[in-house]
Chains A and B, each alone.
Chain A
């Protein structure tokens, strides 16, 4: 067990969430996907731009070095010339600013007097302009994570980036639909001291954002970035943690990774390895592999690749050292090689012979590099340019290994580990968006918002519980699954029994989801239709589950289609009465038997299960029996 206090863990959170406004942040495009627009594709190149300090930002330089061609897909249903960078941005969306201000006030933050939109250089292609527009809405405030008060540093509003569709070797394809959707970002101070606390803080922030009632829900609408450091380590920016539960794991893994790197640094120094020993002398060792039986190497050589090798003096044994699963220096070197050199990966002598590479070949490489017993060698199989770039990145990363932990921007993977993305950007990458005038936030406006702040989720839970007389547990499920708004809307609009709506939105959906049914992609309007038809008696509540499963599997079809396809349409009252009367007639001899109701009910349910509500059927049956008895 790691004692997080002792290692000096400090975590800061950046919680991003899409706002559910009707329009995008800097144009009038809708924030939701629109069916049936025209899709056009165009190509762009981005160049590094100088920062205001006359320096090129390290993160921007990194992307510029790769100089990819970017292909953008624009669906005119929700992309206009603004997202295409063919028209200046419109003034900032006031609805989005208001939501951000409400969230700020709920966190006790202080809104700025005047909002200035900035351009933050991002040239990986995810923004057509080469920068992301962003602005500070408020500073300060706090949220409560358990017993601890977590200070908020800034609350910013920014445009969401385009979604990457495909990353090819020299090309990247992006879909512009998401570009420009308003995104709120809440940054906490780096005071979080354990993985659990990080989860609590993220949850607390998420709850406040949801209380605004104006955030999007579902996959991809929430993203957490983590800034993690430990004593003696370095500040790491970890991007794109989508699920709350993954936060703890990412923090834990990052602590382990930094501890591991610190240990290696100490060992390297103890071994007497100095940065000055690490020289950049890559050697072409293609000849060593001329008759290789390694399939990977053979295939690449056939594509006229070369094998280049680099000596890392004193590194033998450290590259594969693995105290915790998946955390190895070798993996770090490989990630840098891939990122900077655009190569598929590296081989190193700690893991060789393997992959079909023979002991003789390893010896050949060591000989060519004049490796001593403590020296490791790194190999790259690629075209010369990429191989050299990759090995240069390996060397730079190896030098940092002697110093300890380098500051990096890393990407979170679904298993909670992280991988190197790019160097950390400086503050220098920000400059004013001159196309958008500043927006003043008056004191009167703030006061008017303060007077009508929405209730917190806790307050909402209490209200719902009282109003609809449901269990606290069920209410909490509605809230945690972010369906309390739909729940209320449906109950109020269609007057369906609250427990039926709640059970559908929680238990039924959860169980369908577990079975792999894509219920999260169902549009809200479908639930409207579902409960309206239920209320009208078109089908019985027993059929809800099958109907949902059917519409999830048949995208674009309606609930009525499902009712017809599943044959669950309720019979008319006349038909029902007729069937019941016939049944009673057939069982005339039992008419005065007390068991007749349960007996006939069983027969009826065989026919009408899922089509008629059992209670309704029971009531009708009793009525008809009474009538028959009266007739004698």
Chain B
């Protein structure tokens, strides 16, 4: 980090000339008088000609740098330290759970000195912040990487899958992955296909409020995640987040069925076309579905290869069908998931393009932008024509899950796979991503 983070222009020059750095105690003298305080980092988007200092009463104020303003150093910075209280002792008879940190809000905290968010918390940080964890499991923790989830790629999915696979082999009773929430649904789907029928729970967990805030949902989500990892009767890849605005119920969603449906609320994640697998309340874990892969089963399959030459395309009225062709040519796309309208439609103008792409061996699967419900392309003429052109309906699969499944299928089948083989995998339920029975939704 720069010694004058966020500063530019006149303010930076003035500070450099005074030989001060962020955290130093300084004195700023201007026409309005003299102000003392600690030099703070500058918010990058803000007007450059200001100096921010923290006053003795704890408040920050910005001082405009104009001619005649002087800066003087009073004292060097006191090294800031995150001094968590000592973590509680581990209890040797409890299940073993490893928390793998990959980044995001849950694994970050504010740098109090600058106000910026800093990533990564060690196991002891987590334990000292959430000492209740020590009563649930013997916790190990490691930082796999520290990435905003929108920056994740298939190589990160692979790295996570391999990490979990190693932990399964080494006999952990459960794994928790701390993850940024933005793409946690995608990762959950990816791990669901890469780690099929795992013998232990693999629990993704995030937070919508950073863990340095007293109201953070990180602790309650994490406690539920560790409890699930340690004690759930299933071996499934799941996502563990608030059920609603209250802190008292955490929903445990199937990885292939969950999607982030709200930008900011604690209850952003919802199971779509399925009920959550379980809930965690004050009373502990409560199963909500009896169909799951049992913990300790022996049909575990590890297959961590993805091919990202697949694309999710959302159809809209008037969309030029050539879009698909251009993408295919420019990006060497091997398969498309269409997010069509209603029961699974795109404009009939797509028919010739679709037919040609399919003939070239490109897989085209149809999901619905309705999110809820199942595609059915037999109901209308256009649907039937689109199917005749070679578009494959993907039942009640979430569009995001379908994309991830397609990437996984392409990776698994390899470069020379034919379209029919891809179609066969895509239309077969592997880990609960498709279901032939549609039930009324339980939440509103």
**Which residues of chain A have a CB within 8 Å of any CB of chain B?**
40, 42-55, 60, 81, 84-88, 110, 112-116, 118, 120-121, 123, 128-131, 134-136, 139-140, 154, 156, 427-432, 434, 437-438, 440
What is the CB-to-nearest-CB distance from B91 to chain A, in angstroms, rounded to a whole number? 21
Which residues of A lie under 8 Å from residue B83 when comparing CB positions? Answer: 50, 54-55
Q: By the criterion CB–CB under 8 Å, are B247 and A431 in contact? A: no
Tell me the residues in window 24-56 of chain B with beta carbons closer than 8 Å to chain A beta carbons: 32-33, 40, 43, 45-47, 50, 52, 55-56
Which residues of A lie under 8 Å from residue B52 when comparing CB positions? Answer: 114, 116, 438
Which residues of A lie under 8 Å from residue B263 when comparing CB positions? Answer: 87
Tell me the residues in window 51-103 of chain B with beta carbons closer than 8 Å to chain A beta carbons: 52, 55-64, 80-84
Contacts A116-B61, A438-B46 given; does A47 touch B219 at CB 8 Å: yes
What is the CB-to-nearest-CB distance from B149 to chain A, in angstroms, rounded to a whole number? 18
Q: By the criterion CB–CB under 8 Å, are A52 and B80 in contact? A: yes
Interface residue from B115, B245, B247 paired with A86 (Cβ < 8 Å): B245
- Cα distance A110–B32 when bound, in Å? 8
Which residues of B lie under 8 Å from residue A112 when comparing CB positions? Answer: 61-63
What is the CB-to-nearest-CB distance from B341 to chain A, in angstroms, rounded to a whole number? 29
Which stretch, B209-217, B326-334, B384-392, touches the partner chain A?
A: B209-217
- Cα distance A534–B385 when bound, in Å? 76
The answer to the question of B113 belonging to the interface, with a C-beta cut-off of 8 Å to chain A, is yes
Q: By the criterion CB–CB under 8 Å, are B80 and A53 in contact? A: yes
Query: From A433, which residue of chain B is reached at the shortest CB distance?
Result: B115
- 1/0 per residue B199-230: CB within 8 Å of A? 00000000011001111100110000000000
Could you give 20 example pairs across A and B, Cβ below 8 Å? A42-B245, A48-B214, A49-B213, A52-B113, A84-B245, A113-B62, A114-B61, A114-B64, A115-B61, A118-B59, A121-B214, A128-B215, A136-B55, A154-B59, A156-B59, A427-B57, A430-B59, A432-B114, A434-B117, A440-B62
Tell me the residues in window 255-289 of chain B with beta carbons closer than 8 Å to chain A beta carbons: 263-266
Q: Is the interface of B mostly helix, strand, loop or mixed?
A: loop
Q: By the criterion CB–CB under 8 Å, are A136 and B61 in contact? A: yes
The answer to the question of B316 belonging to the interface, with a C-beta cut-off of 8 Å to chain A, is no
Q: By the criterion CB–CB under 8 Å, are A87 and B264 in contact? A: yes
| Top 4 A-B pairs, shortest CB-CB distance | A130-B214, A52-B112, A114-B62, A430-B58
Contacts A46-B215, A129-B215 given; does A118 touch B245 at CB 8 Å: no
Known: A48-B214, A156-B59. 11 other contacts (CB 8 A): A44-B246, A47-B214, A50-B84, A50-B212, A52-B113, A87-B263, A113-B62, A113-B63, A114-B46, A114-B50, A440-B46
Q: By the criterion CB–CB under 8 Å, are B246 and A130 in contact? A: no
- 1/0 per residue B236-248: CB within 8 Å of A? 0000000011111
Query: From A116, which residue of chain B is reached at the shortest CB distance?
Result: B60
- Cα distance A13–B161 when bound, in Å? 60
- Cα distance A484–B160 when bound, in Å? 69
- Cα distance A448–B63 when bound, in Å? 20
Contacts A42-B244, A113-B50, A113-B64 given; does A432 touch B40 at CB 8 Å: yes
Interface centre among A40, A86, A87 (most CB of B within 10 A): A86
- 1/0 per residue B364-377: CB within 8 Å of A? 00000000000000
- Cα distance A627–B196 when bound, in Å? 107
Q: By the criterion CB–CB under 8 Å, are B113 and A45 in contact? A: no
Q: By the criterion CB–CB under 8 Å, are B81 and A54 in contact? A: yes
Contacts A54-B82, A114-B61, A440-B50 given; does A44 touch B247 at CB 8 Å: yes
Q: By the criterion CB–CB under 8 Å, are B212 and A116 in contact? A: no
Query: From A136, which residue of chain B is reached at the shortest CB distance?
Result: B59
What is the CB-to-nearest-CB distance from B84 to chain A, in angstroms, rounded to a whole number? 7
Which residues of A lie under 8 Å from residue B56 when comparing CB positions? Answer: 427
The answer to the question of B116 belonging to the interface, with a C-beta cut-off of 8 Å to chain A, is yes
Q: By the criterion CB–CB under 8 Å, are A87 and B265 in contact? A: yes
Query: From B63, which residue of chain A is reached at the shortest CB distance?
Result: A113
- Cα distance A452–B212 when bound, in Å? 43
Interface residue from A60, A129, A429, A440 paired with B47 (Cβ < 8 Å): A440
Which residues of A lie under 8 Å from residue B266 when comparing CB positions? Answer: 86
Interface centre among A45, A51, A131, A136 (most CB of B within 10 A): A45
Contacts A81-B265, A86-B266, A114-B50 given; does A45 touch B64 at CB 8 Å: no
Which residues of B lie under 8 Å from residue A128 when comparing CB positions? Answer: 215
Q: Total number of A-B contacts with CB less than 8 angstroms?
A: 138
Interface residues on B, range: 35 or more
Which residues of B lie under 8 Å from residue A156 when comparing CB positions? Answer: 59
Query: From B84, which residue of chain A is reached at the shortest CB distance?
Result: A50
Which residues of B lie under 8 Å from residue A52 when comparing CB positions? Answer: 80, 112-113
What is the CB-to-nearest-CB distance from B41 to chain A, in angstroms, rounded to a whole number? 9
Q: By the criterion CB–CB under 8 Å, are A130 and B57 in contact? A: no
- Cα distance A44–B220 when bound, in Å? 10
The answer to the question of B413 belonging to the interface, with a C-beta cut-off of 8 Å to chain A, is no
- Cα distance A112–B30 when bound, in Å? 12
Query: From A46, which residue of chain B is reached at the shortest CB distance?
Result: B214
Q: By the criterion CB–CB under 8 Å, are A437 and B32 in contact? A: no
The answer to the question of B110 belonging to the interface, with a C-beta cut-off of 8 Å to chain A, is yes
Which residues of A lie under 8 Å from residue B265 when comparing CB positions? Answer: 81, 86-87
Which residues of B lie under 8 Å from residue A437 when comparing CB positions? Answer: 43, 45-46
Which residues of A lie under 8 Å from residue B55 when comparing CB positions? Answer: 136
Interface residue from B64, B81, B115 paired with A432 (Cβ < 8 Å): B115
Query: From B216, which residue of chain A is reached at the shortest CB distance?
Result: A47
- Cα distance A438–B247 when bound, in Å? 31
- Cα distance A53–B81 when bound, in Å? 7
- Cα distance A130–B212 when bound, in Å? 10
Interface residue from B80, B208, B212, B215 paired with A44 (Cβ < 8 Å): B215
Which residues of B lie under 8 Å from residue A130 when comparing CB positions? Answer: 213-215
Q: By the criterion CB–CB under 8 Å, are B82 and A114 in contact? A: no
Tell me the residues in window 282-314 of chain B with beta carbons closer than 8 Å to chain A beta carbons: none
Query: From B130, which residue of chain A is reached at the shortest CB distance?
Result: A47
Interface centre among B59, B84, B246, B265 (most CB of A within 10 A): B59
Tell me the residues in window 168-219 of chain B with beta carbons closer than 8 Å to chain A beta carbons: 208-209, 212-216, 219
- Cα distance A429–B215 when bound, in Å? 15
What is the CB-to-nearest-CB distance from A237 to chain B, in angstroms, rounded to a whole number? 13
Which residues of B lie under 8 Å from residue A114 when comparing CB positions? Answer: 46-47, 50, 52, 61-64
Contacts A114-B52, A154-B57 given; does A431 touch B215 at CB 8 Å: no
Q: By the criterion CB–CB under 8 Å, are B33 and A110 in contact? A: yes
Which residues of B lie under 8 Å from residue A135 when comparing CB positions? Answer: 59
Contacts A88-B264, A114-B62, A114-B64 given; does A49 touch B57 at CB 8 Å: no
Query: From A86, which residue of chain B is reached at the shortest CB distance?
Result: B265
Which residues of A lie under 8 Å from residue B209 when comparing CB positions? Answer: 85
What is the CB-to-nearest-CB distance from A49 to chain B, in angstroms, rounded to a whole number? 5
- Cα distance A114–B215 when bound, in Å? 28
Q: By the criterion CB–CB under 8 Å, are A434 and B60 in contact? A: no
Which residues of B lie under 8 Å from residue A40 when comparing CB positions? Answer: 245
- Cα distance A203–B115 when bound, in Å? 38
Query: From A48, which residue of chain B is reached at the shortest CB distance?
Result: B214
- Cα distance A15–B93 when bound, in Å? 57
Q: By the criterion CB–CB under 8 Å, are A45 and B112 in contact? A: no
What is the CB-to-nearest-CB distance from B185 to chain A, in angstroms, rounded to a whole number? 19
Q: By the criterion CB–CB under 8 Å, are A43 and B247 in contact? A: yes
Which residues of A lie under 8 Å from residue B40 when comparing CB positions? Answer: 432
Which residues of B lie under 8 Å from residue A81 when comparing CB positions? Answer: 264-265
Which residues of B lie under 8 Å from residue A43 when comparing CB positions? Answer: 246-248
- Cα distance A428–B248 when bound, in Å? 30
Query: From A44, which residue of chain B is reached at the shortest CB distance?
Result: B247
Which residues of A lie under 8 Å from residue B129 when comparing CB positions? Answer: 47
Which residues of B lie under 8 Å from residue A434 when comparing CB positions? Answer: 110, 115-117
Query: From A129, which residue of chain B is reached at the shortest CB distance?
Result: B215
What is the CB-to-nearest-CB distance from A123 to chain B, in angstroms, rounded to a whole number? 5
Which residues of A lie under 8 Å from residue B116 when comparing CB positions? Answer: 434
Which residues of B lie under 8 Å from residue A136 when comparing CB positions? Answer: 55, 59, 61
Query: From B263, which residue of chain A is reached at the shortest CB distance?
Result: A87
Which residues of A lie under 8 Å from residue B33 when comparing CB positions? Answer: 110, 140
